A and B are shown apart, each in its own frame.
Chain A
Amino acid sequence: MYEQIASNKRKTFLLIFGAILLLGAVGYVLGLFYANSGLVGLVGAVALALVMSLVSFFSGDRIVLASTRAKEVTPQEQPRLHNIVEGLSIAAGIPKPRVYLVPEQAPNAFATGRNPEHSSIAVTEGLLATMNRVELEGVIGHELSHVVDRDILVGTIVATLIGAVVLISEFFMRSWWWGGFRGRRGGDSGGGGAEAIVFAVGLVLLVLAPIIGQIVRLAVSRQREFLADAQGAMLTRYPPGLASALRKIAASSGIPMRSANNATAHLWLNQPSRVQGEGMGPLEKLFSTHPPIEERIRRLEEM
């Protein structure tokens, strides 16, 4: 378990380093095109990357919670949920995380934060409505294991950085479309080469952003979900609880989640579906953020 924590810390640094490199490259090209100096863009982008990494370290959890429209709940509003979170935190030997409710009907949950002292657990309204106490304990046990293993820091930083990369590549494409395509056409005869570069880089970035998302999801790997399942079961000492919860989640996979997007998909207990009745193609299975739910249930039942 301690090796797991150490390896997570290493992976976090690698991920941030990779993201800074990528942003630096983007900045260089942007600077070349807009300010005729690649260095200006490079410095600007690296500064931006540093600020962003710091921001996601200190408030990534708040950004993620806000993007899912989660609201903090008090023990008076949700006594059962709070009791379960507090009990399992005692079993795991960590401080009690803050408890949030997400206004979604699909049963799901996630944990975020930078360490056990600064962590939050969010569950959807659908989860509270469909799960009994034992199943809820299974789900919370799984999420608390992510907190104990520091998976949440990797997950949260990844969510913020991917969000930024997607944002910048989109901005880039649009500015090329409106600024470059219409404005730069006439007059500037030497602009053709630069335009071609910008076009190429913009395209590459658009292709890269989702691929980086996939790489990162492999870092926040499927294996780690199995590990959290197993550790969660060790906390509750009752694997069938989580198994039964996963079965209910599988049964309600048709309910879409409005607030789910690519940047936060890997954080949830089970991969959220965005479209009603969205099916899994073979490619999607290969690159999915979570192992198949049937496989997780089978392993829990074998414990």
Chain B
Amino acid sequence: MPLWVWIVVILVALLLLGAVLVYNRLVALRARVNNGWSQIDVQLRRRYDLIPNLVKTVQGYASHEREVFENVTQARSRAIDANAVPDQADAENQVTRGLRQLMAVAENYPELKANENFLALQEELTGTESKIAFARQFYNDQVMRLNTLIGSFPSNVIARTFGFQTREFFDIEDPVRAPSEVDFPG
């Protein structure tokens, strides 16, 4: 065979190899984005499960704060029904605000704050909210990587050929991650 045939064969093989590598990277990233979303979902569900317990415990001490209880309960059912990523984010922000109000109410009742059950629920809530934040962080990192790969040349050719689509970021308010100046003991 003449030399130019060899050169063409090698070039085609290299191109194919590159395409396979890009395709595999896209598949891996898509899987990680999906995994990231299901992690968020798990943590959000855990927070929904906590809300009725928290409301019941606070109610035992502060029964007249009805508006606060209704707010957070309504926000919860709206969030459970939400579907698309942006709707979900909106509904979760409502839940976060409702929970913040609820915890602010609890601040006014020293007996409630000493209640062991309440303390355990509070730790669960803090833990779950930080896990939501971490899961969101992971999900958004992976979405950014996927979207960058889909958007840049030459990987965009392969992404378009095989129908890979960019995904949406999950933007919610940070419930606990905001650094505070207060030094919590213990």
Quick one: closest B residue to A130, CB to CB?
A: B186
Say whether B184 faces chain A, with CB atoms less than 8 Å apart: yes
Sorting the interface of chain A by its residue count into under 10, 10 to 19, 20 to 34 or 35 or more gives 10 to 19
Contacts of A137 in B (CB 8 A): 130
Say whether B39 faces chain A, with CB atoms less than 8 Å apart: yes
Per-residue interface assignment for chain B, residues 24 to 55, with 1 indicating a CB less than 8 Å from any chain A CB and 0 otherwise: 00000000100110010001000000000000
Contacts A90-B39, A238-B179; is A80 near B123 (CB within 8 Å)?
A: yes
Across the interface, do A240 and B138 meet the contact criterion of CB distance under 8 Å? no
Say whether A32 faces chain B, with CB atoms less than 8 Å apart: no
Q: Determine which residue in B35, B36, B126 has the highest number of CB atoms from chain A within 10 A of its CB, and name it.
A: B126
**Interface residues, chain A, with chain B CB atoms under 8 Å away:** 79-80, 83-84, 86-88, 90-93, 132-134, 137, 235, 237-238, 240
Contacts of B43 in A (CB 8 A): 90
Contacts of B123 in A (CB 8 A): 79-80, 83
* Bound CA–CA A93/B123 (angstroms): 23
Quick one: closest A residue to B43, CB to CB?
A: A90
Number of interface residues of B (CB under 8 A): 25
Across the interface, do A83 and B138 meet the contact criterion of CB distance under 8 Å? no
Q: Nearest-CB distance from B63 to chain A (Å)?
A: 28
Contacts A132-B184, A132-B186, A133-B184; is A90 near B134 (CB within 8 Å)?
A: yes
**Interface residues, chain B, with chain A CB atoms under 8 Å away:** 32, 35-36, 39, 43, 120, 123-124, 126-128, 130-131, 133-135, 137-138, 142, 177, 179, 183-186
* Bound CA–CA A87/B130 (angstroms): 7
* Bound CA–CA A104/B68 (angstroms): 45
Across the interface, do A79 and B39 meet the contact criterion of CB distance under 8 Å? no
Contacts of A235 in B (CB 8 A): 134
Q: Nearest-CB distance from A220 to chain B (Å)?
A: 27
Contacts of B124 in A (CB 8 A): 79, 83
Quick one: closest A residue to B178, CB to CB?
A: A238
Quick one: closest B residue to A91, CB to CB?
A: B134
Residue of A79, A87, A133 near B134 (CB, 8 A) is A87
Quick one: closest B residue to A137, CB to CB?
A: B130
- 6 intermolecular pairs with C-beta atoms under 8 Å apart: A79-B123, A87-B130, A87-B134, A91-B134, A92-B138, A93-B32
Quick one: closest B residue to A238, CB to CB?
A: B179
Contacts of A132 in B (CB 8 A): 183-186
Contacts of B133 in A (CB 8 A): 87
Q: Nearest-CB distance from B33 to chain A (Å)?
A: 11
Given pairs A83-B128, A133-B126, 20 additional interface contacts (CB within 8 A):
A79-B124, A83-B124, A83-B126, A83-B127, A87-B127, A87-B133, A88-B134, A90-B131, A91-B134, A91-B135, A91-B137, A93-B32, A132-B185, A132-B186, A133-B184, A134-B179, A134-B184, A137-B130, A235-B134, A237-B137
